[in-house]
Structure 1
Amino acid sequence: MKNSSNKIDVRLESIRILRKVDEKDVLAQELVEERCQQTNVSRRDKHLLLELVNGITRHRLSLDTILSFFSKIPPQKIEPWLLYALRLGIYQMIFLDKIPHSAAVNTSVELVKNLIRRPDAARFANAILRAVDRTIKNKYSVNHKNVNQQKLLYKKENVWCEFSEPIFPDPGENLTSYIAKNYSHPEWLIKRWLTRYGIDKTIEICKANNHIPTLSLRINHNKTSINEFASLLEQNGILARVIDNNALIINKSVVSDIPGFSNGLFSVQDITSMKVGTFLIAETPTAGAITLLDMCAAPGGKTTHIAEIIQNKGSIYALDISLKRLHRVKENCQRLGIKNITIICCDASEGKIPFRCKFDRVLADVPCSNTGVLSRRVEARWRITEKNIKQLAALQYSLLKTGSTMLKQDGILVYSTCSIEPEENQEVVQKFLKNEPQFYLDKEDCYSPEINKGDGGYMARIRKRNLGW
């Protein structure tokens, strides 16, 4: 329930959320939404809270690299509240153009005073932040070709922050470390991308992962049309760019700012993610007769899109291991007016799917490392490890194999991820096809996040041969 008398301190709230994100397996975006629903938050404050939480999480390694240059105590040994307050102050000075440096310093020091209540901690924060402030030479450097690269931090397309000191590693001595710390990605991930993609593409992927993602909307054609909805947005002063008959991109970052959400006129879904539904519903049989199994359905973006494509006809069975996340599927179905989806909580990876029947279509949109959507899933880059990718590949193969047992002859199975790692994509599919000769690859598509600054991912359309028996 929203407390109308309680106005939040955005900066205090941001570091509370940041600490929760680091200490628990929760999503930053969901914590921000949850907190804003509980409290009376202005539109402006919600935008700032999102900017601080997402921005500090994205740029965490860059912020800690700057902090390490000025502090004798390494970031991992600084007590948590002090560390989060320092990151907050540094982030505001470098990335938030409308906040004066003095305000960024003072608000962070005040947080330290209130949260730690030791004069030495406040003095330490004040000294570090003022040293950073003095070292920032030009926040908007565009003519930087002749500047020492160790003095530059990438901010956004063609804009860098120039320091008076060489804060970052020398790329000539350790390129992996330089890219990791300047573009704020784990070194192990940069190392594998450099091996696979080379320098230029690796840097472009990192840049794409650090940009603020656009908000793309999928139109619910059962309730409106692209032209009607675009007109509604225009009436509310929202700029929109129509992509095709199903989708548009807008200049907003908060869903509650957009008219028509509660009425089910649209869903938030990236353009790449939307392609999965149309990829699956190829050569559709009579819509009223189609049966479809979505093995990992929550929170329901792709599931509800498929329901819209087949015009609320046929039968869709949405499975997921998480009952809590399945509630999101139910809420989305109710909001969008979808009635042909049956929701079931079960672990599809165990092969214990509660059906004896076979399906015309099976979707295995499997859990993955999220390396294709790091701009959107801001905390993911700090949670994944190389070991995780190997573990995920085993789970993904298990889900793909289970899904294949549920498919009719001549049926279509789509395997999809939001990863750009071959171990989770092509290698899983190739292993499956090698072991299951009654299936064949019809088509596969790969998407990289630096292309059009969209989500990265992979999808493979697999068909089951009709063997005539």
Structure 2
Amino acid sequence: MRKNPHQRTSPARDGALRVLIAVDKEGAYANLALQNIRADLKLGADDLALLTELVYGTLRMRGTIDWVIDCFSSTPVSKMSHAVRNIVRLGVYQLLFLDRIPPWAACNEAVEQAKRWRLAGLAGFVNGLLRSIARKREEISHPDPDVDPLSHISVKYSHPAWLVERWLNRYGKEETIALCRANNKPAPLVIRCNTLKITPQELQQQLERENVIARFSMLVPEGLVTNLSSLAELRLFQEGYFAVQDESSMIASLVLNPAPGSFVIDACSGPGGKTTHMAQIMQNRGRILALDVHSHRLELVAKACKRMGVSIVEPKLMDVRELPFQLQEKADYILVDVPCSGLGVIRRRPDLRWRVKPEDLPQHARQQLEILKSASRCLAAGGILVYSTCTTEPEENTGVIRQFLEECKDFQPEDLSLRLPFPLVWEEDKVTARSGFLQLFPHRHGTDGFFVACLRKTIKGG
């Protein structure tokens, strides 16, 4: 039986609309807005799954959705109010990408949402637009890939045109499509075994007892790839037997490989994944000075350390660019995981693809170089520094490293292939790794987009 059109819309759809409007109108971050809505609505498992799917799916495919709407609507998406365009976006996402939801249900729910948002005068517009798209959805076509490959990829795979253009120029058509496809697939939940408390094999066995399927990572020895979207409620998590962390992020700490008993500076430590990983590698012996400019991120570092039984970390609210003179040339190892555009994690945070602008990249690069140069002054001669980002763009990665090496002659790149925990397959990776850096991609390596460079300080007094 069809749902009564006057019945209250589903809480999952209402919650999804609230998140999408917050992102669209207020510039909210989708993951944080979604977290707040989840806590507010207290949904059951099925509704929670639908809420997450609707939010991330609609944001992920927003480029395609908006193009389709503009093909059918007399009012462009850009001219619609925040509420109307996100009601319609939600409806189109369900019509085009969620086969399990009947078209009539998607249309009826959108009409009811319009009424609930005091847009009853536009309910007919919403209804007519969605039903027209539903009737003709099999006839929808994208721009011709031979005539206009840029528009074709941007529309079909829902990525901003400026970013697609950059990738086309660097990688060509086929690899750009592969990267966009990978970004449109939900990322798996990867966890890092806390080897201070348990072995990866023992953790896998205990997870199986909790009905969690986990396979060992092919890239990092501490990693397990799971079949769930959240494990925060598990006793094993709450008691610190594992942390949630992508394989690419683990690689940074493994490349640095700080020795037990050493002094490490984590220049931008929040929320603490790499910090606690380094403490594991150090067998919880030595000292890690964990810096961050945001107090709430330092609180997450402290919380993670307590949960995982790490006692060697000293969180400190400080900009690394203001490190005192007393720390110059004192650290044995430094990790510089800088703030960046985040374009390597858009499969996890789909709103970033629409939030980041091309003019942001040089601004990030300037800040990143400042942070790197300041942190580097604290490294002792012979010490190792690892620079990392979660972005794919060269301005923030190789551009920063090359400029740093030009200005800081007392640093030399290390052969990264000797420090990686996995063998390199791609020839391009082998070449760049010997030059001291590696760029990871979702479509090549199955990880987030991540950059890591390894440098050694060769002389004193740089």
The DSSP-based 3-state class of the residue aligned with 2:345 is coil
Shift of 1:37: 2.8
Q: TM-score, normalised by structure 1?
A: 0.88
What are the Cα deviations for residues 407-446 of structure 1, in whole angstroms up to 9, with x where unaligned?
0111111110111111111111111111111110112222
Unmatched segments (≥5 aa) in structure 1: 1-6, 137-162
**Cα distance change, pair 21–274 in 1 and its aligned pair in 2 (3 A):** same
Counterpart contact for 2:19–2:37, Cα < 8 Å: no
**Counterpart AA for 1:51:** E
- Over 3 Å counting, the alpha-carbon distance change for 1:93 and 1:226 in structure 2 is same
- Secondary structure, aligned partner of 1:408: strand
Question: 1:180: Cα distance to partner?
Answer: 0.7
The residue that corresponds to 2:267 in the other structure is 295
The two structures, once aligned, show a CA RMSD in angstroms of 1.8
Task: Kindly indicate which of the two structures has a greater share of residues assigned to helix.
Answer: 2
* Equivalent residue in structure 2 for 1:164, among 106, 128, 139: 139
Q: Using a 3 Å threshold, how does the CA distance of structure 1 residues 215 and 65 change in structure 2: closer, same or farther?
A: same
**C-alpha distance in 2, partners of 1:252/1:325?**
25
Indicate conservation of the 8 Å contact 1:403/1:413, yes or no: no
* Number of corresponding residues: 429
Q: Deviations over 1:236-274 (max 9, x none)?
A: 222211125411111111233545111111111111111
Match runs of 1:435-454 below 5 Å: 435-442=407-414, 443-454=436-447
CA contact (8 A) 1:47 1:254 kept: no
From 426, 449, 453, the equivalent of 1:456 is 449
Contact 1:295–1:364 under 8 Å retained in 2: yes
What one-letter code is carried by the residue in structure 1 that aligns with 2:385?
Answer: L
Identity in percent? 37
SS of the residue 2:182 aligns to:
helix
Which residue does 1:465 correspond to in 2? 458
Map of 1:109-120 to 2, 5 A cutoff?
Answer: 109-119=111-121
1:233–1:259 Cα contact (<8 Å) kept: no
**Aligned counterpart, 1:197:** 171
Aligned residue runs from structure 1 range 115-154, under 5 A: 115-119=117-121, 121-136=122-137
SS in 1 for 2:237: coil
Selected match of 1:97 from 92, 96, 99: 99
Contact 1:8 1:39 in 2 (8 A): no
Alignment of 1:169-184 (within 5 A): 169-184=143-158
SS of residue in 2 equivalent to 1:316: strand
Letter in 2 for 1:419: T
Partner residue in 2 for 1:309:
281
The aligned amino acid for 1:272 is S
**Correspondence for 1:356:** 326
Given that 2:256 and 2:384 are in contact with CA atoms closer than 8 Å, whether structure 1 keeps it comes out as yes
Displacement of 1:197 in angstroms is: 0.7
- Kindly indicate whether the alpha-carbon contact (under 8 Å) linking 1:8 and 1:41 is maintained by their aligned counterparts in 2: no
- Cα distance in 1 for partners of 2:143, 2:105 equals 29
* CA pair 269-355 structure 1, distance change in 2 beyond 3 A: farther
Consecutive unaligned residues of structure 2, counting only runs of 5 or more, are 1-8, 415-435
> TM-score, with normalisation over the residues of structure 2?
0.89
Q: Give the structure 2 partner of residue 249 of structure 1.
A: 225
Following TM superposition, by how much is the alpha carbon of 1:134 offset from its aligned partner in structure 2, in angstroms? 0.9
The within-5 A match list for 1:373-384 is: 373-384=345-356
Retained in 2: the 8 A contact 1:170–1:178? Answer: yes
Kindly provide the amino acid, as one letter, of the partner of residue 202 in structure 2. Answer: E
Shift in alpha-carbon separation, 1:353–1:221, aligned structure 2, 3 A: same
Report if aligned partners of 2:25, 2:82 keep a CA contact under 8 Å in 1.
Answer: no
1:394 counterpart = 2:366: yes
**Letter in structure 2 aligned against 1:277:** S
Report whether the alignment pairs 1:329 with 2:301. Answer: yes
Match of 2:337 in 1: 365
- Shift, 1:355, TM fit: 5.8
Tell me, yes or no, if structure 1 residue 75 matches structure 2 residue 77.
yes
Q: 2 CA distance for matches of 1:164 and 1:271?
A: 41
1:176 match: secondary structure: helix
Contact 2:287 2:313 in 1 (8 A): yes
Equivalent residue for 1:206? 180
CA distance in 2, matches of 1:8, 1:307: 45
Partner SS state of residue 381, structure 1: helix
1:342 alignment counterpart: 314
1:86 aligns with 88
Structure 1 position 122, deviation (Å): 0.5
Contact 1:418 1:456 (C-alpha < 8 Å) held by counterparts: yes
Distance 1:320 1:395, change over 3 A: same
The superposition leaves residues 44-102 of structure 1 with CA deviations (integer Å, 9 ceiling, x where unpaired) of 22221111111111111111011111101110101111111111111112222322221
Q: Which moved more, 1:72-81 or 1:326-335?
A: 326-335
1:127-148: CA deviation from partner (whole Å, max 9, x where unpaired): 1111111113xxxxxxxxxxxx
CA contact (8 A) 1:330 1:343 kept: yes
Letter in 2 for 1:164: E
Which amino acid in the other structure matches residue 222 of structure 1? Answer: L
